[in-house]
A and B are shown apart, each in its own frame.
Chain A
Amino acid sequence: MIQKIKNHKTLKKNINFLTKIEREKHHPLLHHIHKKLGISRKTIFYIKEYGPRSHVADVIIKESIFILILTSFLSAFGGIALENMKDIFIAILPFVILYPALNNMVGSYGSVISSKFGTMLLEGKIKSSWWKNAELRKLFSQIMIIAVVTGSIGAAASLILAGFSDYVVTSKIAIKIFGIVLLDVIILVGILFALSIFAGEHYFKKQEDPNNFLIPITTSVGDLGNGLILAFLIALLF
């Protein structure tokens, strides 16, 4: 029950009540505490989620477990594609060296693209014709340039490191590896952008915060796509 915040005791009672409010539901108590005491909404949300009467571990586990299992499931599928051609994959030493770095890169691009697009949606910068949005086009150009440059750096580093072992690096192998890595990152950045835009607009229209959904979706699709595209290109070129 809401009580007027007269003193420390009533504040404590109200805060205890606050932790019982379901996270999706708005309650006038939240606004009341914010207005009366000047406590920011973010602090109130944090106390509601992780306050003295809440079970912190329960809240975190309930909110995270489904999405973590889903993202792991999708990542594992990317691995299945590579497991099917394991012998070829592990024979190409530069790819073994580069694989964790490529996975990281793709996951990071997914996070960056989806968090920035989610913020643009929340700030009202994205109208119906998103393809005309200058900021979005700039973000796309930036991510694409970074992906190509860092992909090239990664490919070059993996070839150099592989050269220190018994693996013989020829110009033909180097060209194939550069080609596969660049194709992989270019295709994936395109897919992640498309996914962020369509999924982001979908959740935004449903009045959900796109950031809650886009980041796990794009990072796991990135992992899945990375495994599938690499498996396909390696099978094609090697």
Chain B
Amino acid sequence: MNIFDKNFKEIFSTQLVSIIGGLIAGTLLAIYTDKIFIIPGMLILIPGMLEMRNSIDGSFASRLSAGLFLHVISPKHTKTKIIRGNLFAALFLGMVVSLFLGLIAYVFNYLILNVSTPEIILIPIIAGLIANLIELPLTLSATLFLFNRGHDPNNIMGPFITSTGDIISIISLLIALVII
């Protein structure tokens, strides 16, 4: 039973790429700890926001890849109904999930910590909007670029989205905190 086969190497290499992105995001968290964690409930938002980016952008990239391989989507025509619909759905889902996370954090703060922090509802919405506006075009461009170069985007977009999603989520949170 050869454990260190091609499968092992593929999983291991994608994990290493994901870790690098996660560590960069974590370093940003560590540098700006006093700004991020000053508001109660931020630790409730962070895992949800990181998970949300992976789920939404990962599914988006996966649907795009499937459409490209099935020749239902053309890499030369990006202003099509399918792509516009995907972008709108991803944006909408991002906003809904961000609102939901903000409400959970607010309820926790109110019930457990006896603190009313309405800004905790706005922070993930603003951060989610900023992250969507950066990450969605990036995901679209990267998927089309990889496909045009003859690569299978499914093999590469997973760790790419995980790494960039983490970094962009933390940066978006910081920008949202500055705005609020």
Contacts and interface: CB of A to CB of B under 8 A. Distances in A.
B37 A68 contact: no
A68 B105 CA distance: 17
Band of interface residues on A: 35 or more
B8 A142 contact: yes
A56 to B, nearest CB: 3
A80 interface: yes
A207 interface: no
B85 A101 contact: no
B50 interface: yes
A79 B92 contact: no
B18 A42 contact: no
Nearest to A99: B26
B100 interface: yes
Interface in B67-98: 67, 70-72, 81-82, 84-86, 88-90, 92-93, 96-97
Interface of B: 1, 3, 7-8, 11-12, 14-16, 18-19, 21-23, 25-27, 29-30, 33, 37, 40-48, 50-52, 54-56, 59, 63, 66-67, 70-72, 81-82, 84-86, 88-90, 92-93, 96-97, 100-101, 104-105, 108, 112, 158, 162, 166, 170
Interface string A215-227: 0100110010011
A9 interface: no
Interface stretch (A26-34, A153-161, A188-196): A153-161
Contacts of B47: 75-76, 78-79, 103, 223, 226-227
B23 A150 contact: no
A86 B37 contact: yes
Q: Which 7 A-B pairs have the closest CB atoms?
A: A56-B85, A101-B22, A60-B89, A97-B26, A79-B44, A57-B89, A100-B25
A229 interface: no
B16 A153 contact: yes
B89 A61 contact: yes
Interface in A119-166: 134, 137-138, 141-143, 145-146, 149-150, 153-154, 157-158, 161-162, 165
- Decide if the interface of chain A is mainly helix, strand, loop or mixed: helix
Contacts of B33: 90, 93, 96
Given A83-B40, A142-B8, A72 B101 contact: yes
Interface string A69-101: 101110110111011101001100100111111
A84 B29 CA distance: 18
Contact of B100 (A69, A90, A107, A112): A69
A61 B89 CA distance: 6
